[in-house]
Structure 1
Amino acid sequence: MTLKRSFPPVTDDRTRLLVLGSLPGDRSLAEARYYAHPQNQFWPLISAVTGADLTRLDYDERLAALREARVGLWDVMASARRNGSMDAAIIDPVANDLAALVRTLPDLRAIGFNGATAHRHGLKQLGALATDIALIALPSSSALHTVGLAAKLPAWTALREYLS
């Protein structure tokens, strides 16, 4: 099994919404970019949340646009062993220090968990701490979660209320 590590968080002290994935997939790790696989629906989904088409921007511009929209990114796992990119294959996960990050975000209003694995692990870490922060389970943006973009959009666009 290959040891895989997450990226640093993309946040600043104005972040109102934090979106947490589980652990980057192989394509993202190879390109050192969040949600790099072209079939992952994250960028269209978060574009609907922010009201700006982030899919047309290069990666650094996407991250700048997220920060400007007060959206942050990170993963619930700092590292884990996994062959391939499927969350079901994760073993020996090591948690990121979500509580420490949350303490640095004074305007944080909500955390969206991108998929069931992120939600399950994130709640274990944050459940008791996040009394004033909404904790929201989101349908996974992964192409492996095959319900389709239209079915995922309502849950994701509901996050808009935390940005205003």
Structure 2
Amino acid sequence: MIIQGFDPISDPDARILILGSMPGIASLEANQYYGHPRNAFWRIMGDVFGAGLERPYAERTAILKDQGVAVWDVLKLCHREGSLDSNIKDEVPNDFAGFFVQHPRIERVVLNGGKAAKSFEKYVRPLVPSLTVTTAPSTSPAFAAMRYEAKLDLWRTAIISADQGQGR
């Protein structure tokens, strides 16, 4: 099945770009980033920024934009059966050359898991070789090997180190 991702959640003044690989089935059906109820992304964003699941999706995305955070996926299109990243084939990346022109203040990228990291290195890193990049543990419910508290600590560190020196 051909899967197409979402437009980015972004503001031109964004400083941090969080990248996943490609939305899963639950996210596509909900028409929301990280729409699976057991995905830890919005719980983590709630603990870090107050953009948790108790808020409507539009409010969560507005909070992230207000905090200088953009969210997107490395891939625009792919073939995939189910939601597992390991099933992704025939990848087509998003237009990062255009994205970085429209978002010139991006200073750090936080990658959501291993597949996002692998695809980023293949398609995006050559465009921005000096950009600071951190791979955080996947928020996917398929990655249950790490406790939530440990994921939160690593995500918080990745995001806070992105804010060092910015007066936040």
Mark yes or no: TM-score above 0.5: yes
Deviations 1:29-73 (A, max 9, x none): 0111111111000011122332x1422110111111110111111
1:91 equivalent in structure 2? 89
User: Matched residues in 2 for 1:46 and 1:34: separation?
Assistant: 12
Runs ≥4 in structure 1, deviation > 6 angstroms? Answer: none
User: Matched residues in 2 for 1:132 and 1:48: separation?
Assistant: 30
1:57 equivalent in structure 2? 55
- 2:14 pairs with 1:19: no
Assess, with a 3 A threshold, how the Cα gap between structure 1 residues 131 and 95 changes in structure 2: closer, same or farther: closer
Deviation, structure 1 residue 132 = 4.3
Is this contact kept in 1: 2:76–2:92, CA < 8 A? yes
Is this contact kept in 2: 1:6–1:78, CA < 8 A? yes
Letter in 2 for 1:112: V
Unmatched runs of 5 consecutive residues or more in structure 1 = none
Is this contact kept in 1: 2:100–2:106, CA < 8 A? yes
Deviation, structure 1 residue 106 = 2.0
Q: Secondary structure at the match of 2:53?
A: helix
User: Matched residues in 2 for 1:49 and 1:98: separation?
Assistant: 26
Q: Secondary structure at the match of 1:40?
A: coil
Structure 2 counterpart of 1:66, from 60, 64, 67: 64
Deviations 1:91-135 (A, max 9, x none): 111111123212211221111110100011112223233244211
Give the RMSD, CA atoms, in angstroms: 1.4
User: Normalising by structure 1, what TM-score?
Assistant: 0.92
1:8 equivalent in structure 2? 7
Q: Secondary structure at the match of 1:128?
A: helix
Letter in 1 for 2:46: S
User: Matched residues in 1 for 2:160 and 2:47: separation?
Assistant: 9
User: Matched residues in 2 for 1:72 and 1:34: separation?
Assistant: 12
Q: Secondary structure at the match of 1:111?
A: strand
**Same amino acid, percent of matched pairs:** 32
1:36 equivalent in structure 2? 35
User: Matched residues in 2 for 1:155 and 1:129: separation?
Assistant: 26
Structure number with greater CO (CA < 8 Å, separation at least 6) is 1
User: Normalising by structure 2, what TM-score?
Assistant: 0.90
